[in-house]
Structure 1
């Protein structure tokens, strides 16, 4: 009986992962992108800061523990269904080392404004080819995004 159930579940998973021509729930495409917010000139994209309102994000030399704790709570609700704290890919890439690979303003701009960056950033486009799913805008405000960044710093070993 257990083998039959296992085969049934495996078949359902296989079928559900098949290619569909069109679907209202296709998460590989943005669901609601404000076209006016998308960058017009690819040459104007700054890969150090990304696309968004953050030009410079000042980080403390030491970790803000309270902010990192709050960022972990937010991440557990909004992020960990797709991202692991390790370097292992889940749906999206793992977070280990993200704060050494990207500038803080890039991370803040991506967290708060993912669609224009996915559209314009060559690294994000390459990541999309691997992950096959666009990161949805989670609607984090600036304080929440900054807390998640501090949690990412904690995850990367900042004390």
Structure 2
């Protein structure tokens, strides 16, 4: 009896060997785990020295810019509309904090111009105002810029004054 030629037998053997053990060999890579990257901790803003002067930055709203009389109910109603669209997900009309502080009683804690500046110029306030920086440390979430106009912020202030 004649033996089959060696070359076809070698090809068949190599193919069967590759099919049987190929997946095992490719799955046996190094045992090193993929490198886990952890995000760096959030950087806190440097604290400026304590000062009693109002925040100084371009466009800052001062007490002289505001004339407050009795609560304007029409403005407060417009402020409520703005609140429902842009503020409600983070703030409540009670004293309870959700993401940001609740608004009830905020007028007793903060001046109207401070509230207006925090609403309109959030980034500037967080960079220069120690009270704003302290709130950021407590709340751990930076208030996003809602692009409120000065008029919208004034209407929101009236809402805050009405609660």
TM range, smaller chain: 0.5 to 0.7
1:43–1:122 distance in 2 versus 1, CA, 3 Å: closer
Q: Partner of 1:103 in structure 2?
A: 111
From 125, 139, 145, give the equivalent of 2:147.
139
Q: Which has the larger radius of gyration?
A: 2
TM-score (norm 2): 0.65
Q: Partner of 1:21 in structure 2?
A: 39
- The answer to whether the Cα contact below 8 Å between 1:84 and 1:93 also exists between their aligned partners in 2 is yes
From 98, 104, 117, give the equivalent of 2:125.
117
Q: Partner of 1:34 in structure 2?
A: none
Give the CA deviation at 1:130: 1.6
Unaligned 5+ runs, structure 2: 1-37
TM-score (norm 1): 0.66
- The answer to whether the Cα contact below 8 Å between 2:54 and 2:62 also exists between their aligned partners in 1 is no
Q: Partner of 1:94 in structure 2?
A: 102
**RMSD across aligned positions (CA):** 2.5
Unaligned 5+ runs, structure 1: 1-19, 23-27, 30-41
Q: Partner of 2:67 in structure 1?
A: 58
Give the CA deviation at 1:92: 0.6
Aligned pairs, number: 119
Q: How far apart in 1 are the matches of 2:108 and 2:87?
A: 19
- The answer to whether the Cα contact below 8 Å between 1:82 and 1:92 also exists between their aligned partners in 2 is yes
Q: Partner of 2:83 in structure 1?
A: 75
Q: How far apart in 1 are the matches of 2:84 and 2:76?
A: 12
SS in 1 for 2:113: helix
Give the CA deviation at 1:110: 0.9
- The answer to whether the Cα contact below 8 Å between 1:50 and 1:105 also exists between their aligned partners in 2 is no
Moved over 3 A (4+): 42-52
Give the CA deviation at 1:53: 2.5
Q: Partner of 1:154 in structure 2?
A: 162
